[in-house]
Structure 1
Amino acid sequence: MPHRAVIKIIEGRSFLTSTPEKSVRAVAAHMRDNRSGAVLVVAPDDGRLLGICTERDLTFKVLAAGLDASTTPVGTVMTCNPESIGPDRLFGHALHLMHEGGFRHLPVVIADGRPIGVISARDALGLELFDFRNELEQREALSEIL
């Protein structure tokens, strides 16, 4: 099922970015407004991936720690140097990395370190469930024939 390239999952889809000096409040509002669970934090000069800020980071590192979201830069609470994947890798590999690492968002980066998208655990629900349903229907049809 997960035999398609990551690029096929993310192509044509937008993703959120921020620079590290933006306030946590501004980043959280941007996530809310775009209904996204993660923001990729990039270097302002060349756009290379520096980190990722997720809903978990906001909950555990800001809210639970009692930090002021208006004055705390996202760069201080992001997950630095996150695991990432290249666009040519298989979606199944992305799922494996997320499962082994215990995270739900995986940046997709090109060779120079710039992000081109994000794979989410939610992606498995849509695309892979569709394939699974088709496979089940084929098996049921074969069972009826046999």
Structure 2
Amino acid sequence: MPTRPLKEVIAEREFVCVSSDVPVREVSRRMLALNRSAALVTEHGVLTGIFTERDASFRVLAAGLDPDATPIGAVMTHNPQTLGADKPFGHALHLMYEGGYRHIPVVDRNRRPLGVVSARDALALDALDFGAELVRREEITVIL
């Protein structure tokens, strides 16, 4: 699992991508519709920031800002750490742990977003491995 390239982790997964002038409520609705915990913010197709559930809680709600009047660009994290699609998932997990964040945008060499990897993805991959292990054990039980 840790050596799996990020392009496999994010393969065929939709992600939220918006420009910096979109209001917080609209971005949050898009995140909800896709069941995503982060949105990537771009200008002219190039990544400029990331907005997460934590940003919504701490930078908008706790600050008393109006989510209909606040543009995402005012409350996003600017210039987030990014990784290329060929980097191993373990490298992303290490950066998230060291940096204290839960999401890393995956970009091409021109900083155009390809997707988002999250700490939650580690649980999903572990669950797949666990499921495969259960099937193997069941097969062994049948043979014995």
Q: Quick check: TM above 0.5?
A: yes
Give the superposition deviation at 1:52: 0.4
> Is the contact made by 1:38 and 1:53 (CA closer than 8 Å) also made in structure 2?
yes
> Is the contact made by 2:7 and 2:85 (CA closer than 8 Å) also made in structure 1?
yes
Q: Counterparts of 2:94 and 2:134 in 1: how far apart (Å)?
A: 23
Is 1:89–2:84 an aligned residue pair?
Answer: no
Q: TM-score, normalised by structure 1?
A: 0.86
Q: Which amino acid aligns with 2:104?
A: L
Give the superposition deviation at 1:127: 1.1
Q: Counterparts of 1:126 and 1:70 in 2: how far apart (Å)?
A: 33
Is 1:20–2:20 an aligned residue pair?
Answer: yes
Q: Counterparts of 1:12 and 1:133 in 2: how far apart (Å)?
A: 21
1:86-125 counterparts in 2 under 5 A? 86-125=84-123
Is 1:78–2:100 an aligned residue pair?
Answer: no
Counterpart residue number, 2:32: 32
Q: TM-score, normalised by structure 2?
A: 0.87
Give the superposition deviation at 1:128: 3.0
The number of residues matched between the two structures is 137
Structure 1 runs not aligned, ≥5 long: 139-146
Q: Counterparts of 2:83 and 2:26 in 1: how far apart (Å)?
A: 27
> Is the contact made by 1:2 and 1:128 (CA closer than 8 Å) also made in structure 2?
no
Q: List structure 1 segments (4+ residues) > 2 angstroms apart after TM superposition.
A: 128-138
Counterpart residue number, 1:3: 3
Q: Counterparts of 1:123 and 1:37 in 2: how far apart (Å)?
A: 12
